[in-house]
Amino acid sequence: MEHTLAMQIFGVVMILVGVMKNWDPVGFNKNVFGDVEGVEGGAAASMRMLIGGAFAGLGGLNVYCSFMIDELASEGDFILIGNVIALVVILSTLLGAKFRGFLEEIPVPPLVIFPTLIAICLYAATY
């Protein structure tokens, strides 16, 4: 897989996730956590929007870089491995929240989306 294609897939997925988190942060929180205390509060919604903005920013960075580098450039490897590091940190934080008792259950979408994007980035960076 070409670096640029992997970066574009990563970028579009992260932008879509970021837009979903910002479109209706209260609804997104209810989807993830159910009707728990504080889910409708401004603090929870603003944190969801902040996280969504970070995801969309990371996605935008990848889409931009995918058009600015040569398809065979080694810079693509660096960007893709950087994506892997970022996703591992994000996923580790989510798992840490579960093990520390802050989450009753881990939402399924991140357990599917993040490992898939990690695999795409690693594959494109190594082949």
Q: What pLDDT does 17 receive?
A: 93
SS3 content of the chain, % helix, strand, coil (to 5): 80, 0, 20
Yes or no: say if 24 and 100 are a contact pair by the CB < 8 Å rule: no
Q: For the whole model, what pTM was predicted?
A: 0.82
- Model confidence pLDDT, tens digit, residues 50-99: 899 999 999 999 999 999 887 667 888 899 999 999 999 999 998 998 89
For the cut 80, the answer to whether the pLDDT of residue 39 exceeds it is no
Domains held by the chain: number: 1
- The band of 26, judged by pLDDT with boundaries at 50, 70 and 90, is confident
For the cut 90, the answer to whether the pLDDT of residue 10 exceeds it is yes
Q: What is the per-residue burial (b if ≥16 Cβ within 10 Å, else e) of 118-127?
A: bebbeebbee
For the cut 90, the answer to whether the pLDDT of residue 100 exceeds it is yes
Domain range spanning residue 72?
A: 3-126
- The residue that leads in pLDDT, 87 or 29, is 87
Q: What pLDDT does 27 receive?
A: 85
Q: What pLDDT does 14 receive?
A: 95
Mean pLDDT, the chain, rounded, equals 88
DSSP assignments along 53-82, one per residue: HHHHHHHHHHHHHHHHS-TT-THHHHHHHH
